[in-house]
Amino acid sequence: MQWSSEGLIIGTRRHGENAMILEVMTPDRGRHLGLVRGGRSRRYAAVLQPGNSVLITWRARLDEHLGTYQVEAKTLRAAALMESRRRLYLSQLLCEHLRLLPERDPHERLYLEALAMLDNEADPLTLGRALARFELRLLDDLGFGLDLTSCAATGVTHDLRFVSPRSARAVSAEAGKPYADRLLPLPAFLTGAGDAEPGDLAEAFRLTGHFLAVHIWQARDISPPATRDHLISRLVEPV
């Protein structure tokens, strides 16, 4: 079996004396692993780095096999990412998020959104909005999406200000006011009802972080990415 695609490198690990297992996010085949023979050689040193985009050809006798990759460089952004701590943290966080997805399950929109964030020199607020929406989409693609279309209590579709931490459904300002201390704030920009200020970003990441913790990190017994808090602090209070 054989196929070719482009992909974003999201992880690597050593295999044997000179090979590398490469983990790549592709637009059409999702998160996919393959063996790169000689992957630890000088030839590949600058190429097989998380955050780089590559052209890959995968070959295996059977579809369920690990298979091998032939790799060519496409966009070598890893060195540039390391020049900015904010961009480096972003790259590390996006790779960790994408590695939560099931193997070989296509998620083209997440792939494209990750590339857009890595390649655009956006200001902190713009980047923060994109990352918060990316985390919402990640939750949705993992089967734990939030329902932000209407109020869980009254059914209204306007003035949605809160989210229930239990049901993951939106709640209007009027219906949620008596329970505001038990609900999560819903920044207006997540429903397309306004722009974002630094305080809105903090609330958005608190919202997505709650559901990532409950449904993903705690459920899988893994620690939240340390880079997430570092990155959020630089988006909410840029220096």
pLDDT in tens, 23-46: 999 999 999 999 999 999 999 999
Determine the pLDDT at residue 239.
53
Buried b (16+ CB within 10 A) or exposed e, 166-184: eebbbbbeebbeeeeeebb
Return d(Cα 231, Cα 224) in angstroms, integer.
13
* Edge-to-edge order in the sheet of strand 160-163: 170-172, 160-163, 184-185
Over residues 203-222, mean pLDDT: 97
Return d(Cα 13, Cα 133) in angstroms, integer.
30
Return d(Cα 114, Cα 25) in angstroms, integer.
10
195 to each of 20, 26, 81, 188, 198, how far by Cα in Å?
A: 44, 31, 27, 7, 10
Determine the pLDDT at residue 193.
73
Q: What pLDDT digit, counting tens, does each position of 124-152 carry? A: 999 999 999 999 999 999 999 999 999 99
Rounded CA Rg of the chain: 20
Q: What pLDDT digit, counting tens, does each position of 55-114 carry? A: 999 999 999 999 999 999 999 999 999 999 999 999 999 999 999 999 999 999 999 999
φ, ψ (nearest 5 deg) of residue 168: 65, 25
Q: What pLDDT digit, counting tens, does each position of 188-212 carry? A: 999 987 778 888 999 999 999 999 9
Write out the two tokens for 209.
């972080």
Determine the pLDDT at residue 28.
96
Determine the pLDDT at residue 238.
64
Residue ranges and CATH numbers for the domains of the chain are: 2-79 (2.40.50.140), 122-236 (no CATH)
